[in-house]
Structure 1
Amino acid sequence: MLGEKIGEGVGKVISQRVLPNPGGSPTMETSFQSTGRLMGLATTETGTYTAALRADGTLFGQGQGIVMGDKGEMASWTGQGIGLLQKDGSIKYRGAIYFDSKSPTFSKLTSIAGLFEYEVDAQGHTKGQLFEWK
């Protein structure tokens, strides 16, 4: 069941490259930076994910990143999701994310699964929301 919203952020794609994928579908690597809130704290985040085009036109994405709180708190994350290409050139991803942190402030995150909504517009602007999965 979808629980409370525990995070949100907005940002920008900072780099992209096409990865070699012999015999497979095209795969794009994307890195982004964002600012927002996680567990009530102001945060900055840097992440990188790959997205592979599938036969049905959807994207399978997986990635990892680091979130830093405004007082030095840190958490890392890994996640996977499905992306849907939109007519306006944007992509909407939905998926799950898992955290690891030794920071007391973010320690609750290590025992939950998060469900995310993440969107990238045609100009590379990002926005995301994170919900606790109960």
Structure 2
Amino acid sequence: MLGELIGEVNGKDTGRRVIAAGDGHAVVEVSFAGTATYFGVEVSGFGTYETELRADGTLFGEGQGVDMTADGQTVTWHGSGIGHFAEGGVVKYRGAIFFSTSAPQLERLNSAVGVFEFDAAPDGTSSGKLYEWK
């Protein structure tokens, strides 16, 4: 069951590269920077994810990143999800994300299982929402 909204994320691609391609299969790596809010605490950070284009046209993505609060506390995260192409070339991902932090104001993240809705636009912008899975 979906629980409380953990927060929202917004990003912009900083780089892309093809890791593998051939026979209708491709793996693309995307690096990005952005901002987020976790339980009302603003952070900024960066991350990288790899997306594999699968034979059925769906995408499988895995990523990781580091975010920082205004007072220098860090949050690391790992996530994975399934994506599909939507109108206008937007890729819509849905998946799970896990956090680790020693920031006192965000320690609730350490025991949270997050589920996300994340949209990546062809122009390199992205946005999403994170919910706690209860």
Shorter-chain-normalised TM-score: which range?
A: over 0.9
The structure with the greater share of residues assigned to strand is 2
Q: TM-score, normalised by structure 1?
A: 0.93
CA contact (8 A) 1:74 1:106 kept: no
Aligned amino acid, residue 128 of structure 1: G
Aligned amino acid, residue 34 of structure 2: S
C-alpha displacement at 1:46, in angstroms? 0.7
SS in 1 for 2:87: coil
Alpha-carbon distance between aligned partners in 2 of 1:103 and 1:82, rounded to the nearest angstrom: 30
CA contact (8 A) 2:24 2:55 kept: no
Per the alignment, residue 66 of structure 1 pairs with 66
C-alpha displacement at 1:45, in angstroms? 2.2
C-alpha displacement at 1:21, in angstroms? 6.3
What is the correspondence of 1:69-88 to structure 2 with a 5 Å cutoff?
69-88=69-88
Q: TM-score, normalised by structure 2?
A: 0.93
C-alpha displacement at 1:2, in angstroms? 0.4
CA contact (8 A) 1:112 1:132 kept: yes
Alpha-carbon distance between aligned partners in 1 of 2:22 and 2:88, rounded to the nearest angstrom: 30
Alpha-carbon distance between aligned partners in 2 of 1:23 and 1:102, rounded to the nearest angstrom: 45
SS in 2 for 1:71: coil
Per the alignment, residue 124 of structure 1 pairs with 124
User: What is the Cα-based RMSD across aligned positions, in Å?
Assistant: 1.6
Alpha-carbon distance between aligned partners in 2 of 1:20 and 1:91, rounded to the nearest angstrom: 19
Per the alignment, residue 44 of structure 1 pairs with 44
Task: Count residues with an aligned counterpart.
Answer: 134
C-alpha displacement at 1:22, in angstroms? 7.9
CA contact (8 A) 1:73 1:105 kept: no
Alpha-carbon distance between aligned partners in 2 of 1:88 and 1:127, rounded to the nearest angstrom: 15
